[in-house]
């Protein structure tokens, strides 16, 4: 079975239960927490290891999550381990988060700049995206001095690279092409 299908099926089942039990916000927070925990190298090793027996993996994750997440979130983790699909946990958490945003009519937007943006600029960007995509906007910002100036914006599958670094890269490419043609 396709890896993405596995993640989607588990996350949709959890999503359905969470909405039925009116726990969507709590389980969504759990999935974000689980996603962050799964980024830790030692946790990645436990998820991928064929040597660690399922009962030991269950005990490890039980100790990590038991007091920090809802019972249905923990039940999902245990089910994934029981079915030998624990390596899909980060993907299931990511898909669940995406489904929750979609359900709430929120578009996750990523803005990368060389310097922090002002509140006014932030509001303008949110308003523009909101009106263009007819959605609420959840803006994730990051600073990357490597882009030199300008911005990189990602909304859904749309990607705008208006960075100075990208413009310099294009100029360099053009100059190299012109220098090759002159030979």
Any idea where the domains of the chain sit in the sequence? 3-102, 106-182
pLDDT bin (cut points 50, 70, 90) of residue 158 is confident
Identify the CATH class of 3-102: mainly alpha
pLDDT at position 15 is: 96
pLDDT exceeds 80 at position 181: no
3: pLDDT strictly greater than 90:
no
The counts of H helices and E strands in the chain are 8, 4
pLDDT, tens digit (0-9, with 9 covering 90-100), for 27-47: 999 999 999 999 999 999 999
Q: How confident is the model at residue 132 (pLDDT cuts 50, 70, 90)?
A: confident
């Amino acid at each position: 079975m396709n890896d993405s299908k596995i993640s989607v099926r588990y996350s949709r089942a959890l999503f359905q239960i969470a909405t039925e039990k009116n726990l969507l916000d709590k389980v969504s927070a759990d999935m974000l927490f689980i996603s962050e925990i799964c980024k830790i190298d030692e946790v990645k090793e436990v998820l991928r290891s064929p040597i660690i027996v399922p009962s030991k993996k269950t005990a490890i994750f039980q100790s990590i999550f038991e007091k920090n997440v809802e019972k249905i979130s923990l039940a999902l983790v245990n089910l994934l381990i029981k079915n030998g699909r624990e390596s899909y946990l980060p993907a299931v958490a990511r898909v669940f988060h995406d489904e929750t945003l979609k359900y709430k009519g929120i578009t996750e937007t990523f803005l990368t700049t060389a310097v922090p943006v002002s509140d006014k600029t932030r509001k303008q960007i949110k308003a523009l995206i909101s009106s263009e995509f007819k959605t609420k906007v959840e803006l994730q910002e990051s600073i990357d001095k490597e882009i030199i100036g300008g911005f990189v914006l990602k909304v859904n599958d749309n990607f705008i690279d208006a960075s100075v670094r990208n413009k310099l890269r294009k100029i360099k490419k053009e100059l190299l092409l012109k220098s090759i043609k002159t030979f």
